[in-house]
Amino acid sequence: MTGICDGRVVAVTGAGRGLGRAHALAFAAEGARLVVNDLGTGLDGTPDPDSPAAQVAEEIRAAGGQAVPHGGDIATTDGAASLVRTALETYGRLDTLVNNAGFLRDRMLVNLDEDDWDAVVRVHLTGHFLPLKHAAAHWRAEAKAGRPPVARIVNTSSGAGLLGSVGQANYSAAKAGILALTLVAAAELARYGVQVNAIAPAARTRMTEQVFAESMTAPDTGFDPMSPHNVSPLVVWLGSEASAGVTGRVFEAEGGRITVMNGWRRGPTAEKHARWTPQDAGKTARKLTEQTDPPEPVYGEQL
């Protein structure tokens, strides 16, 4: 029996642990051939001497699948280019890119150092942009050579990027940037046969184990709603040919729940064909806010 990704070549960044590992295993179970990327850093981005990429690749091979490890830094041009090159040199093609790598350096805004800001934005936002750019360049070349791909990109945002999260200004800003990057990439790359979507997952990983400390496994069914493996089926479908026609979308995924996010939409509007005074602009803005729903609370906000 073949899976929905049979024969596809999938590169997953940050695939050594947590969500990335779950995604890689799920893709392999559906017949995909994997490039398992992980730099092997700690939670704060410092080097980890025991990089897990090779371990996950071996786990896939032991189960009868195909996988190769990649230890490059995908937030650099050379590392991102080598990720794509590894897929092409190993398997002769690349069909799906899952951008997942990241780490945290949480601080309240007044305590957030510039280095902590730069490091988190680099790994999350630049770490999405560069692999996306190099994969897209390959797919554009294929399309122009008369070999249009059926390509997929799945980006990883967060509820912090959708709503904000107290103590995570750097992370929230980077994850919000990923949403905008997803929309632009979906619009620009559609002509080359590339679909681009994003997920905002909630699961128990190294980054969230304090938030989701309790297992919460239902004793009657054995279902653990915080397991990262619950998110992967949607990612696998988005990365497959079966998702044809779905692009530029953002999905929340948690436990057994999937939600399509509507994003920013224009609400109540007021217009006059003249310049507003500050007083009139303020009066009008206040009236408009009273005509719409209040924003969703920021994660961690004291209400």
Q: Which of 157, 175, 192, 243 is catalytic?
A: 175
Q: What is the mean pLDDT of residues 100-119?
A: 94
Q: Over the chain, what is the mean pLDDT?
A: 91
Concerning whether 175 is annotated as a catalytic residue, the answer is yes
pLDDT at 207: 52
According to the per-residue pLDDT averaged within each range, which of 33-42, 78-87, 292-301 is highest? 78-87
Q: Which of 82, 157, 158, 172 is catalytic?
A: 158
Spatial contact of 51 and 71, defined as CB atoms under 8 Å apart: yes
Q: What is the mean pLDDT of residues 37-66?
A: 80
Q: What is the mean pLDDT of residues 99-123?
A: 95
Concerning whether 158 is annotated as a catalytic residue, the answer is yes
Concerning whether 171 is annotated as a catalytic residue, the answer is yes
pLDDT at 41: 64
Q: What is the mean pLDDT of residues 243-251?
A: 97
Q: Which of 109-123, 193-207, 260-274 bottoms out in mean pLDDT, i.e. has the lowest?
A: 193-207
pLDDT at 201: 95
Residue 210 has pLDDT above 70, yes or no: no
pLDDT at 57: 95
List, in order, residues 6 or more apart from 37 with CB less than 8 Å away: 11, 12, 13, 14, 15, 53, 69, 70, 71, 72, 74, 83, 101
Residue 48 has pLDDT above 70, yes or no: no
Domains of the chain: 9-260 (3.40.50.720)
Amino acid identity of residue 269, one-letter, is T
Q: Which of 82, 157, 165, 171 is catalytic?
A: 171
Residue 93 has pLDDT above 80, yes or no: yes
pLDDT at 219: 54
Q: What is the mean pLDDT of residues 226-255?
A: 95
pLDDT at 80: 97
pLDDT digits (tens, 9 = 90+) for 273-301: 999 999 999 999 999 999 999 988 998 88
pLDDT digits (tens, 9 = 90+) for 233-245: 999 999 999 999 9
pLDDT at 212: 46
pLDDT at 301: 85
Q: What is the mean pLDDT of residues 208-213?
A: 48
